[in-house]
Amino acid sequence: MLGFTLAQCLGMLPLVASTILMNGQEKVTNYPDTKIDIAESSFKTYQANATEISYQGRWDSNHVSWWSAPGLRLGFTGQTLAITFGNSTSSGVLVGYRIGGLDWNFTNATAGGTHLLVTPSTPGANETWPFDPLTFELRVTNWAYGVQIAAVHVAAGEKLVRLPSLGRRIEVIGDSLAAGMYTSYEGLSSWAYALGAGLGDTEYSVTAYPGICAADQDCWGNPRGQAHQWFYTSDTSGRAVAMYGDDPEPWDFKKNPAADIVVINIGTNDQNAANNVSTATYIDALTKIIEGVHGKWPKAQVIVMVGHTDSPPLIRSHILKFTAAKSLWLGFYQSGNSYFPSASQGFEKEIYAMYQYFNSDAYLANPVIWDGTTNKTTSSTACGSNKTAAPFVHYFNTTGILQHNDIGPQYHPTDVGAVKIASHLIQYIKIKFGWELRATGPEVLHDTLYWNDQQYY
């Protein structure tokens, strides 16, 4: 039923292994080849459905990862850990992994291959403090690719250990901005990842994909919009279409814990004239996303991020976010002897009116909820609740966070821009909701250690 467009086909192209571009030049990388012949080793093996494995982000029933920066966490005894990736793994996909609170390491995973990721010679593998048992985390870096977990292996006589929940959960719903498009390690350099990991002791999920609209229609090759797709496990990539067609697995909201905070950052693709989304259609879709979040997670606080974009030409395709308020995101232009944010006729008044609607007595007395799998709206009163709901939608104005050199040539935030966005959001969440900042040492973002040790130059 669904045909393949150029954008979808791009999501199915093989990776050029170990290649990252920095400022248009190939970045020097030396990722280790971790693939081994499992027949030559002696392991204790756990299947992908082992309860000791905690999957982070969205994974389907076949343990295939989707969206941006999905991963897994577990504890293990001993000093050895390997993973066998299933045949649905995007061959060559770059994954980040680490033990304890040490820095990220990277390797290119292979479909059907077993990769030895921790050995007795791995720095920190023989340490027993402060992590005991030792923890292991893996994350997929690329938003268009994924891995399938077939098995996890530890040394003979050792075991996996189920780690306790981190206690706080945050979800980001978005498009290319949140997915990390054009940042150095994509998902692992995105502001959405930096937000979740930067808060510390927080489980996070980034349900974002480049080019997707809020409106449920085709946008830049994405066959559905977030008003529909957020309710499903898989994203809108070419590999998702190849695997599921137009019948993806619904996300099991009852089985998976609810988020405490949901950040919504979407709308740029709706605003692009090429996708022919009217203001009314966009606002209706954004409203449904918020109603959907409230229906599935009634206690979640929703942050609607608002910033400014312009109206880009077609060549920009997977461009930024929705417009509102002033300045940010898409870019700036030079005029005279200074720079100014690109101007546009965006959705600012309508977005703010929507925010006011969700905080009105009329809505809170009878909250409307939306289900993207049934395409039905209902009311909380109809579902058995007679209590007036407390306000749960918040308005985060991003004006003034980014400047012209925080936007890359492809109209997305740079690595530094992503850091700035995440930092402001972290402080907003701390002030607004009283969340403590608990990331107190371990690396969050990789390859950001810049310094000058020369005092004369």
pLDDT tens across 58-96, in order?
999 999 999 999 999 999 999 999 999 999 999 999 999
- Which residues have C-beta within 8 Å of that of residue 41, sequence separation ≥ 6? 82, 116, 153
pLDDT in tens, 343-352: 555 687 888 9
Neighbours of 451 (CB within 10 A): 4
Asked if residues 318 and 236 have their Cβ atoms less than 8 Å apart, the reply is no
Residue recorded with tokens 């974002």: 208
Res 328 pLDDT > 80 = no
Task: Report how far residue 210's alpha carbon sits from residue 220's, in angstroms, rounded to the nearest whole number.
Answer: 9
**Superfamily covering domain 30-161:** Galactose-binding domain-like (2.60.120.260)
Task: Report how far residue 411's alpha carbon sits from residue 319's, in angstroms, rounded to the nearest whole number.
Answer: 7
370 falls in which pLDDT band (50, 70, 90)? very high
Percent of the chain with pLDDT over 70: 87
Looking at the domain 168-433, which fold is it? Rossmann fold (3.40.50)
pLDDT of residue 271: 87
What sections of 38-87 are H helices per DSSP?
Answer: none
Domain coordinates in residue numbering, the chain: 30-161, 168-433
Task: Report how far residue 156's alpha carbon sits from residue 42's, in angstroms, rounded to the nearest whole number.
Answer: 6
Helix (H), strand (E) at residue 239: helix 238-244
> In this structure, which amino acid lies at residue 234?
S
The DSSP bridge pattern shows strands 160-161 and 338-341 to be unpaired
380 falls in which pLDDT band (50, 70, 90)? confident
pLDDT in tens, 193-247: 999 999 999 999 999 999 999 999 999 999 999 999 999 999 999 999 999 999 9
Identical fold for domains 30-161 and 168-433, yes or no, is no
